[in-house]
Chains A and B, each alone.
Chain A
Amino acid sequence: MSILPQVIFFLIFSVAAYFLFQRVSYLKRNIMLGKKEKRNDQAEKRWKTMLLVAFGQQKMFKRWVPAFLHLLVYIGFIVINLEVAEFIIDGFTGQHRIFAPLLGGAYTVAMNAFEFLAVGVLVSCLIFLVRRNITKVPRLSMSELKGWPAMDANLILIIEITLMMAILKMNAADQILAERGVDHYLPIGNLFFSGLLQPIMRGFSTEFLIFVERAAWWFHIVGILAFAIYVTYSKHLHIFLAFPNTWYSNLKPKGEMKNMPEVTNEVNMMLGIPSEAGAEAPAEIGRFGAKDINDLSWINIMNAYSCTECGRCTAECPANITGKKLSPRKIMMDVRDRTEEVGKSLDAKGAGLVDGKSLLGDYISQEEINACTSCNACVEACPINIDPLSIILEMRRYTAMEESGSPAQWNAMFQNMETSFSPWKFAPTDRFNWADKVKDEEIK
């Protein structure tokens, strides 16, 4: 038997692994363009959150239909990867179905389970295509998805459908060849789903069937390797990043905004309060708030790369529902797109962050961030605990403190608060007047 297929397999696998490594390094460097932030307290709670939210898909089930279909694809993805492990071993060793003789009847059960899941993935992806392109579910056909994002989503679904069809075709041809006693092909028992395809293939010659089986095998394994690399260019990265993303979830009450210690130092100085935090004066005075991606935390950027653009955030956003420009999903997409722009520029030895552009201004407008009610609906809605709100609020901080660019009515509110300690213009001495009425009233 020729060793050529093994050599080719080895080469393809090595090239794929090399590219994948390059892409992972690139993504990691991009994410680390964000500010350092330590968030690894409460490890036990973090593992639990990851298990429930990412592994257990808890938050997906706020919407039952897509949750069920997604669950099928997700289980299919994980379980069918076991079969891919066999593919890889076969590819390296030149064997065919190396586990079949070892597992016996259990192998038949496993193959039937894989085929069931393959069909589940196939059907789910078809329904997803219909939801995106025919019934046009509102959150999946909004303007921010025009162009590449919509194409990306459809490509992923089509690739998955094609890969699953390859598995089924391969098994069907494989078992006809086994029936015919062709060398290398082992009978592995009754396979229900691929068995349904066999009537179409029974008329084919043995040579053609071998071609079909081998072609499907190579297509599937090369397809999966190519898909793994494609994923790193795609919104589909959530299949990996959902896990670290949920591990690094914000575990504090959602209403809490991060304190700015650099401001506390100055406020204490102004008020003549001895500062306890004097020792930890910031080494480098950065910008207040966020204008560009390097002002955000690395967790914000990881959030952006983890986002799969499902739009549940935007569908729940009160500003978006009532026709304002703000879309939390677009905020995440903008952070990712700007990071990509900077990352590519850095790799090309270009200007990187100092290219004269910035996240706020060139990607995200004041109108968008001003429309946010900070209601946390987007944060609550995200199936993998992405936090668009913290990005919006950091950009408001930049606008207010670095540019004094807040809306006029907010500036008026600031002024009221400075002079009369209330957002409204009332005399502080009148603050207690409300009590006069009750103080005169008899207790009933």
Chain B
Amino acid sequence: MSTYKVPTMAEMAAAGDSPEVLFWVGCAGSFDERYKAVTQAFVKILNKVGVSFAVLGPEEACTGDPARRAGNEFLFQMQAVANIQVMNGYNIKKVVTACPHCFNTIKNEYPALGGDYQVIHHSQFLQSLINEGKISLKGGGEFKGKKITFHDSCYLGRANDVYEAPREIIKALDVELVEMKRCKTKGLCCGAGGAQMFKEPEPGKKDINVERTEEALNTGATTIAVGCPFCLTMMTDGVKNKEKENEVNVVDLAELIAKDQGL
């Protein structure tokens, strides 16, 4: 009988070891009560498959994405340079993260500051594990034949052209994937990007997450799948706003797989 392992880079380095991939947890993954379950689900999958990974643990800091999008370049670069020093110190080559904002920032914006890594989103990582046969989805179970819709997050989709990996995962689950009218390149934002997560919206006639949730509910899906911590929060709030929280779940892709695997 053994328990799940979550090694840190510091522990690995002390043992003279280095993992294949760094799992970048992100602030939401570390602190958000609901989203911690996604981090835990992903770690369980990594354990189950036997992926050699580690996390930075307390050495991780915000990538700086919201500061940069809100205009505070100094603060962004302070965060980024400090993170890059830590990562380069551990000689990290490959990074996986469940947060599209962290993904975009580390992948596209850290190179200009001296941080060059191969960065992949957890949807791509999970898809490749499925393709390699390292995860064999059972199908059936509680999702069998149910309708699932996928909400594209802007920083995964339009920002980085990742549209198919999340859909491949859902299709592998023996469920019915139903698309919203505004999907893929035309996907509607959940309303949280560009640092909007951290302030109230400007005056308007509606909240963006409600507009998007209505569209998701109109597909008849009982599960709204997302691949982003901010989208998860916004869509969950939207479902509550529409008083559908007893009928409709908002879940992350990693949770879908963990559930299928009985983890």
Chain A positions within 8 Å of B, measured between CB atoms, are 62, 252-257, 259-260, 263-264, 266-268, 270-271, 273, 276, 288-289, 316, 318-319, 321-326, 367, 370-377, 379-380, 393, 395-401, 406-407, 409-410, 412-414, 417-418, 421-424, 426, 428-435, 437-444
Contact = CB atoms under 8 A, between A and B. Distances in A.
Given A318-B189, A413-B195, A444-B262, A393 B71 contact: yes
B62 A443 contact: no
A142 B108 CA distance: 36
Given A318-B188, A421-B62, A431-B57, A406 B158 contact: no
Interface in B179-214: 185-189, 191-208, 211-212
Given A255-B104, A255-B159, A421-B61, A438 B44 contact: yes
B81 interface: yes
A422 B27 contact: yes
A410 B55 contact: no
Interface in B68-105: 68-75, 77-79, 81-82, 85, 104
Contact of B6 (A371, A406, A418, A438): A438
A259 B112 contact: yes
A442 B47 CA distance: 11
How many chain B residues sit at the interface, stated as a range, is 35 or more
B58 A431 contact: yes
Contact of A441 (B4, B112, B196): B4
Contacts of B57: 431-432, 435
Given A263-B77, A373-B154, A374-B193, A442 B1 contact: yes
A371 B202 contact: yes
Name the residue among A323, A428, A433 with the largest chain B CB count within 10 angstroms: A323
Contacts of A376: 154, 158-159
Contact of B196 (A260, A373, A393, A440): A373
12 contacts: A62-B186, A253-B160, A316-B186, A370-B202, A371-B201, A373-B154, A375-B189, A401-B72, A421-B62, A421-B79, A442-B2, A444-B263
A406 B262 contact: no
A306 B96 CA distance: 40
B3 A393 contact: no
Contact of A273 (B31, B62, B81, B191): B81
Name the residue among B74, B112, B187, B263 with the largest chain A CB count within 10 angstroms: B74
Contact of B205 (A288, A316, A323, A414): A323
Q: What are the 4 closest A-B residue pairs judged by CB atoms, nearest first?
A: A255-B159, A374-B194, A400-B71, A323-B205
B104 A256 contact: yes
